[in-house]
Structure 1
Amino acid sequence: MRLATYASTATAAVLICVKLAAWAATGSMALLSTLIDSVLDLAASVLNLMAVRHALQPADREHRFGHGKAESLAGLGQAAFITGSGGLLLVEAGGRLVRPEQVVHGDWGIAVMVFSIVATAALVSFQRHVIARTKSTAISADSLHYAGDVMINLSVIVSLLLTMNLGWSAADPAFAIAIAGWLLFNAWQIIRGSLDTLMDHELPDSDRARIRDIANSHPMVLDLHDLRTRTSGRQGFIQLHLELPGELSLIQAHGIADEVEGAIQAAFPSFEVIIHEDPSGITEHHHDPA
């Protein structure tokens, strides 16, 4: 995860340098849009780097559930950066749409975009490898907008070709507006995912059903209730109450709970499982938000 944050920060810094030179040479609004995006990518990646470093710290006395939610806070920060860049780009592109300007040295811009696509695609490929191993919210958010950058860079090439070969001066700002819309859409996706974690959103119904099936598959388990799930960065938490035969001894009930816990953890290895044993037949209030 740390290596992924270093890679994204370095990639953004390199792309800022080459895009700045290309924009200065061409004056392309679409190219400016990708430059602004890369500047905000760098800011978001630096924020991500600090958040991941904090999130990877082990649980301590004051943070018994770990520091994983730092990743989601970083995601909200990234979304703020992306939203700001989308809004700024809409204003700039709108003005250029009303007062079109000629793009010069478009071939330079195309060369820079090709380089950007190759570098960004390599970064996204590495980030997805990291996500598959860690399920990191922060790296997922970072990868989402870098994947969007690949599409953005392709659209800039198209806009430059239309402007250079067909003289469609409106194509440049029009593509910039479309890019702004894509940025705002990405920001919303990041916000939604980060808020789900910060607000302790439950796992999908399919995962909850799987947990129930695993617990109920034990021959001594009669039922379960109060199933609660949540995630915090790479770490997840599953809590539930098992209903067991009332005549069991405490040590027998504990052994059954350990077996169910092991089965659930085998299916959800990054989750901590907490089980409370209840004797069946006792009337008690079961917490049911539904």
Structure 2
Amino acid sequence: MTSSQTKYRLGLLSLVVSIALVAIKFYAYRLTRSQAVLTDALESIINVATSGFALYSLYLAGLPKDENHPYGHGKVENLSLGFEGGLIFMAGAFILYSATKSFIHPHPVGRPDWGVLLLASTAVVNLGVGLLLVRTGKRLNSVALVGDGQHLYIDALTSIVSSAALVLVAATGVVRFDSGAALLLGGFILVNGWRMVRRSVSGLMDETDTAVVTEVIAELQAQRRAPWIDVHNLRVQRYGANLHIDCHMQMPYYFTLEEVHSQLFDIEELIRARFAVEVEMFVHADPCTFAACSLCLMAECPVRLHAFQHEVEWNLQNAVKNERHRLP
């Protein structure tokens, strides 16, 4: 089974589970008329909508590149995450509004025993499915699956808090525990929705993924060869699970085109081997200048004008800059 098929099947599982659990939660609300249970049920409606959109985005992300999408369709996963976060944010705002009214004008809660039983069962299912989605999403570098799984975590947490509120109401008779829990959950949902939107915008705007860039630079440094005099202007873009990497590599100016091509091919292959996803890499070869002699490792260079002094170690601070390195 391909990674695209795996992601699509897990997305379908998330959708089916979300539909089943939202029905259970609204039945629990019918029995209890609890504000906390209603909060949980409303948040689960968002699960259904977002799981459906995530499923569609996983289908699109798995499509091959075409003339209209030369870098593939992976960016739609970031759009899915933003859509999910936006709906969660709006749900959190509505829940806060509704819970505030209920806190000011509390109403009795009925059948808390059945409410606790039903919500606890949904929490167990959500935790299990959410854990599966997050683990697989991280392994396959799918932001849509990870986002969907984290949303199920949130849903499980709301169910646990709602159950605890029902237990407190039953034990103490204080009805405001119910609306107080709903207020707490509304604020929590609001914050998490905003965080998901923020991550979505970061991906769509190609914000630097520091961890991936650092990993690429570290691999180049670890596998460094003498003809690779200097690397700069290194950039990494993520398209769904796949990576697009480009950089400038300074090489001896007297190398033939065939020699340069061989070195560039080796660079691309070692980076592709480092990551478990599809990597598209473009390396622009720059001819060296005599200013690079002092940091060049070519021991048998026939045109060296200056003695080698020391190697410039590539790191996150210097490899991403659009300028050649030189010693002071």
TM-score by length of 1: 0.94
Matches within 5 A, 1:107-186: 107-186=113-192
Per-residue deviation, residues 135-189 of structure 1 (Å, max 9, x unmatched): 1111111111111112111111110011011112111011101111111121122
- Deviation at residue 93 of structure 1 after TM alignment: 0.5
Contact 2:138 2:146 in 1 (8 A): no
Question: In the alignment, what sits opposite 1:207?
Answer: 212
Mapped to 1, the partners of 2:182 and 2:233 lie a distance apart of 50
Deviation at residue 282 of structure 1 after TM alignment: 7.9
Q: Give yes or no for contact 2:248–2:285 (8 Å, CA) kept in 1.
A: yes
| 1:274 equivalent among 278, 282, 290 | 282
Distance 2:87 2:213 in 1: 34
How many pairs align? 285
Please say if residues 218 and 260 of structure 1, whose CA atoms lie closer than 8 Å, have aligned partners that are also in contact.
no
Aligned to 2:107, the other structure's residue is in SS state coil
Q: Which amino acid aligns with 1:82?
A: I
Tell me the CA shift for residue 212 of structure 1: 2.7
Cα deviation digits, residues 84-132 of structure 1 (max 9, x gap): 1111111110011001111110001001111101110121122023213
Indicate how the Cα distance of structure 1 residues 209 and 23 shifts in structure 2: closer, same or farther if over 3 A, else same. Answer: closer
More divergent stretch after superposition (273-282 vs 152-161): 273-282
Aligned-residue RMSD, C-alpha: 1.6
2:35 paired residue number: 29
- Segments of 5+ residues of structure 1 without an aligned counterpart are none
Kindly provide the amino acid, as one letter, of the partner of residue 214 in structure 1: E
Q: Distance in 1 between matches of 2:23 and 2:127?
A: 18
Matching residue of 1:231: 238
Asked if 2 retains the 8 angstrom alpha-carbon contact of 1:261 and 1:273, the reply is yes
- Answer yes or no: is the 8 Å Cα contact 2:81–2:197 preserved in 1: yes
Change (3 A) 1:117 1:194: same
**Aligned residue number for residue 218 of structure 1:** 225
Q: Could you tell me the percent identity over the aligned residues?
A: 25
- Tell me whether 1:260 sits opposite 2:283 in the alignment: no
Between the aligned partners of 1:278 and 1:91, the Cα distance in structure 2 is 60
Q: Tell me how far apart the structure 2 counterparts of residues 92 and 115 of structure 1 sit (CA, whole Å).
A: 25
For normalisation by structure 2, the TM-score amounts to: 0.83
Partners in 2 of 1:124 and 1:91 — Cα distance? 28
Deviation string for 1:24-57 (max 9, x for gaps)? 1110000000110111110111111111111111
Show structure 1 runs of 4+ deviating over 4 A: none
SS in structure 1 of the partner of residue 64 of structure 2: coil
For 2:254, what is the secondary structure of its paired residue?
Answer: coil
Look up the SS of the partner of 1:40 in the other structure: helix
